[in-house]
Structures are given as C-alpha cells and as structure tokens.
Amino acid sequence: MVTIPNSCTALSCPTVPLSNGRNIPILGLGTSHVGGYSHEAVLCALQECGIRHIDTSKRNGCEEALGKAVVDSGVPREELWLTSKLWPLDYGYQSAKQACRDSCARLGVDYLDLYLMHWPDCMIPGASNHEVRAETWRALEELYDEGLCRAIGVSNFLIRHLNELKDRGGIVPHVNQVEFHPFQQPLELVEYCRKENIVFEGYCPLAKGQALTHPTIMALAQKYGRSASQICIRWSIQNGVVTIPKSTKPERVHENCQECGIRHIDTAKRYGCEEALGKAVVDSGVPREELWLTTKLWPGDYGYQSAKQACRDSCARLGVDYLDLYLMHWPDCMIPGASNHEVRAETWRALEELYDEGLCRAIGVSNFLIRHLNELKDRGGIVPHVNQVEFHPFQQPLELVEYCRKENIVFEGYCPLAKGQALTHPTIMALAQKYGHSASQICIRWSIQNGVVTIPKSTKPERVHENCQ
Ligand SMILES: NC(=O)c1ccc[n+]([C@@H]2O[C@H](COP(=O)([O-])OP(=O)(O)OC[C@H]3O[C@@H](n4cnc5c(N)ncnc54)[C@H](OP(=O)(O)O)[C@@H]3O)[C@@H](O)[C@H]2O)c1
C-alpha cells in the first residue's frame, strides 16, 4: 500500500507554459471510456489530491458526469484546466463549432481551457482529409479568438499533419496529445513539437496498465521504493511531457498523484548552508537525477577564474557533480574600483563555459533589471535561462516579467510571502478566508498562477506541507 502524502496538490503541481502564455498543469487525470467513468475517482482527484487538470473528450462519453463532478467538488472553475476533444465525425467548419458548444454545455462550462482535434483523419467517406482538417482548424481558430477555447490543439497528429497546418499559416497548435510511455516514444515528433513551440502531451502513460507488469519497470519500482505506475508517471513528467494517467480507483488516483512532489531546492553560497543541504539530499534518499538544485554565485567571487572556482566549490559543498541552475546573485560586482559592466561580462563568460562543460545544466542571473539583461543580450552568447527576482503581491515588476517572457528568460520569483509580511495583510487574509486556504497558500498560488517559478522558504515542516498545498 502506498502512503498518501499531502504534498501533491493543486499548488505544488508544476505547469508547462503554452506558446500563448497559458500554463497547463503537467499532471492531469484521464477519463477514457475504456474501463468506465468513476465519479468517486474524479472527486478524489479534485478534492483530496489537488489535481486541477482533467482530460476528456466527446468520445469518452462522460462530459456530463464530469461537469457534475466538478460542481460537486466545489473547486472553482477558474482553478481548473479542462481539456476536451472534437471527434472526427464532427469535423467541418460549422459542425466543429457546434460540437464545441455542445461539449461546453455538457460540461456545464462557458469555456474550455484546451480543445483538441482528436485525430488527423476525418473519417468522412469521400471527403478530402486535407481540406476537412483545414476548415476544422479554421473553426477552432475562431473558437479561440472568441474565447470559447483558451487554447487549441490537436491529438495523434504526425509531423506531416503539423507541417500541413504550419504551411497554411494561422495559429500553430498549442498542444499535440499523443500516446507516450516507455514502450511508445515518438522522439522525432517530441523534438519537432519542442522546436515548433507545441507542448507535447502524452496519453496512456501506463500503457493502459500494461507497463505495470513489465520486468524493467517493476525492477525500477523496487529500486526506488515506488509503485510501477509512479515510475511510469515520473518518467513521463521528467521528459517534460504533460501526463494524464487514468484510474477509476481513488487509492490509485492518490498513488498516481504522488509523483509531482517538491524536487526543486534553491540555495546560494551566501546562505551558508550548501554543505548541510547536500547532507539532507543524501539523507532524503531522493536520487540526484530527480532533483533540481539551484545555487548562486556571490559577487565577491565575480571574475572569470574566481567564478569558475566558486562553482566547483559550491558543487563540492553540495556533494554533487553538476548544478541544475547557477545564477549570478546580483548585478553589482561589489569590487571597489572595478567596472561593473566588464566584471559582469567576464563572469558571464565563465558561466557560459561552465554550461558548455556541463557543470551547470542551466545558467542565469538574479536581481537583474532590463538594462542588465539588455547588456548581456548585446554581448551575444547565451541568453540567461532564468532571472530570479523578488516577486509577491506588493512587489510586481511587471515590465521586467514581460521582458523576460518576450526574451524567453524564465522568471523566477523570490520572497513569495514578502518575508512573511504578506501573511497578515487584510486583503490576503480576506482571500484566504474566502477560498478556505491559508494566507501563505494564497500568496504561493497567486505567484504560480502568474506563471512564476516560486520558492517559499520555511524552517518548520508543518509549514512546508502547508506551502506545498
Ligand atoms: N487523444 C487520444 O486519442 C487519447 C487516447 C487514449 C487516451 N487518452 C487520454 O489519456 C488518458 C490516459 O490514457 P488511458 O486511460 O488510455 O491509459 P493509462 O492512463 O495509461 O492507463 C489506465 C489503466 O491503468 C490502470 N491504472 C491506473 N493507475 C493504476 C495504478 N496506480 N496501479 C495499477 N493500475 C492502474 C487503470 O485501471 P483502473 O481504472 O482500474 O485503476 C486503467 O486500466 C485517457 O484516460 C484519456 O483521457 C487520449
């Protein structure tokens, strides 16, 4: 029996950004017609596991029941990500629009978060697949423009189908949902989607249950003290794939939701705890490859040689042979008499080389303003992967956030609780009461809903639990 932690909830489930700025939770619940619909399982996912992403389709025949489960769960519509799909028999301009409205009506919602063309083939005898796809896609584009679908995409499309849509101009699908599990790895398609900025969503992550008795999966489950389904789900998520396992059994829904617990730790040389953190990682038993470790270069170590040495020292203290992310902590070099501009440039060169050597799997900056980022941009070379900046309801550098989005720099927010000060603010407290959450959960959720990577700190285990919910 797998234990049920409180750690995978709506607030801790990572999201994947779509090309239109919306964020899809990386873990969702499938509702395929195979094996039937379970009201109990959907309620469990929504109420107990904090799942906020549900995948369905007209074909699954459960949209109405699902709409009822959403109402029964008490989860507000705006917290949910609902995907539905257009069945090929409804392809065509008018019928696609009608089918979307019908899906919304059955689900009891006035918009879908994502609407997908279910298959490339139109299944209409005598019709040209190519033409029917084009006019159907035009209908979806209009549904998107009207706001009835907040994102649109396709399912089971191959590269040639995607190229066909691309050639036609117009909206590039935001998502392609395709079968993806250890025994079905369409890597060329995955790569194509990444390149074209189409989020790759994988269905059948458990290979319809068949992966669960495979000797390799079972051996990995034993090795890592996980269930076979958790190994499959984690594998899919670690591939950056949006993952939608289905189960009709609440205890299995719980089991399947445990694979999005906290695996990201942010530290810095300056915090003086790298060594202790390295020990905690070893003690936790969590494999290194499951973790995302960020640390930062203190300005006292800026400069080409000293930055490289500082990175190696951080790795040694953490007991790791690579960092997931290494950040320049501040723009100012704090070296009297030195030119900030030049020191930043040579320090960044060192980070670029650390990245090329593989010692840092991503490199970025912290507390950089637009002008500092422009300076790095002008110099050519690697654009920072991340900018970590203070971000909470009372500190919203929106221009910088927008700049980062435009330049493809992930915006990471620190002090999401305003060092605790947000927690007693009347507005936050009122929102906490209204939504039945704690003040810290409101702040964290707000930051995450802004698409910001969020790193609250607490020294108290019960608060860590609370913050992860
Ligand atoms: N776009 C498309 O064309 C397409 C095609 C297929 C699927 N999908 C979507 O993707 C979702 C997932 O795919 P899927 O449902 O076909 O397959 P899946 O998620 O790979 O596997 C579901 C099967 O695994 C079992 N299962 C789930 N969790 C388990 C656990 N922890 N331990 C043991 N068995 C477990 C379920 O049985 P129990 O219910 O008895 O637990 C069910 O039989 C679908 O529900 C649907 O939303 C989309």
pLDDT at 435: 81
Q: Is residue 8 part of a domain?
A: no
Q: Is residue 460 part of a domain?
A: no
Q: Is residue 459 part of a domain?
A: no
Q: Which of 368, 305, 308 is nearest to 341 (CA)?
A: 368
Q: What residue's CA is closest to ligand 1, atom 5?
A: 203
Q: Is residue 39 part of a domain?
A: yes
Asked if residue 349 and residue 278 are part of one domain, the reply reads: yes
Q: Is residue 443 part of a domain?
A: no
pLDDT at 288: 84
Asked if residue 409 and residue 285 are part of one domain, the reply reads: yes
Q: 71 alpha carbon to ligand 1 midpoint, in Å? A: 23
Ligand 1 site-directed mutation target among 8, 31, 32, 230, most atoms within 8 Å of CB = 32
Asked if residue 187 and residue 244 are part of one domain, the reply reads: yes
* Residue after which a domain boundary falls, among 414, 443, 461: 414
Instruction: List per-residue pLDDT tens for the chain, 469 residues long.
Output: 222 223 333 445 778 889 999 999 999 999 998 889 999 999 989 987 889 999 999 999 999 999 999 999 999 999 899 999 999 999 999 999 999 999 999 999 999 999 999 999 998 888 899 999 999 999 999 999 999 999 999 999 999 999 999 999 999 999 999 999 999 999 999 999 999 999 999 999 999 999 999 999 999 999 888 899 999 998 998 888 999 999 999 999 988 987 666 778 999 999 999 999 999 989 877 778 778 999 999 999 999 999 999 999 999 999 999 999 999 999 999 888 889 999 999 999 999 999 999 999 999 999 999 999 999 999 999 999 999 999 999 999 999 999 999 999 999 999 999 999 999 999 999 999 988 789 998 999 899 878 899 899 988 777 876 776 5
pLDDT at 7: 32
Domain count, the chain: 2
Atom of ligand 1 lying closest to residue 85 CA: 1
Asked if residue 67 and residue 174 are part of one domain, the reply reads: yes
pLDDT at 261: 60
Q: 466 alpha carbon to ligand 1 midpoint, in Å? A: 30
Q: 38 alpha carbon to ligand 1 midpoint, in Å? A: 12
Asked if residue 104 and residue 156 are part of one domain, the reply reads: yes
Q: Which residues line ligand 1 (CB under 6 A)?
A: 30-32, 34-35, 55, 118, 155-156, 177, 203-209, 212, 227, 229, 244-249, 252, 255-256
CA distance 259 to 456: 20
Q: 66 alpha carbon to ligand 1 midpoint, in Å? A: 16
Asked if residue 297 and residue 214 are part of one domain, the reply reads: no
Q: What residue's CA is closest to ligand 1, atom 26?
A: 247
CA distance 42 to 248: 8
- 8 A C-beta contact, residue 157 and residue 176: yes
pLDDT at 8: 34
Q: 254 alpha carbon to ligand 1 midpoint, in Å? A: 14
| Domain range for 212 | 15-260
Atom of ligand 1 lying closest to residue 207 CA: 20
Q: What residue's CA is closest to ligand 1, atom 27?
A: 247
Q: Is residue 181 part of a domain?
A: yes
Give the CB-side neighbour count of residue 105, counting CA atoms within 13 A.
6
Asked if residue 403 and residue 273 are part of one domain, the reply reads: yes
Q: Is residue 440 part of a domain?
A: no
Q: 207 alpha carbon to ligand 1 midpoint, in Å? A: 7
CB atoms within 10 A of CB 4: 15
* Residue after which a domain boundary falls, among 260, 286, 309: 260
Asked if residue 274 and residue 252 are part of one domain, the reply reads: no
**Angle formed at CA 315 by CA 314 and CA 316, multiple of 5 degrees:** 90
Asked if residue 309 and residue 199 are part of one domain, the reply reads: no
Asked if residue 362 and residue 248 are part of one domain, the reply reads: no
Asked if residue 269 and residue 251 are part of one domain, the reply reads: no
Domain CATH number, residue 346: 3.20.20.100
Q: 289 alpha carbon to ligand 1 midpoint, in Å? A: 26
Q: Is residue 207 part of a domain?
A: yes
* Residue after which a domain boundary falls, among 390, 414, 438: 414
The 8-class DSSP code of residue 166 comes to H
Q: What residue's CA is closest to ligand 1, atom 4?
A: 203
Asked if residue 281 and residue 185 are part of one domain, the reply reads: no
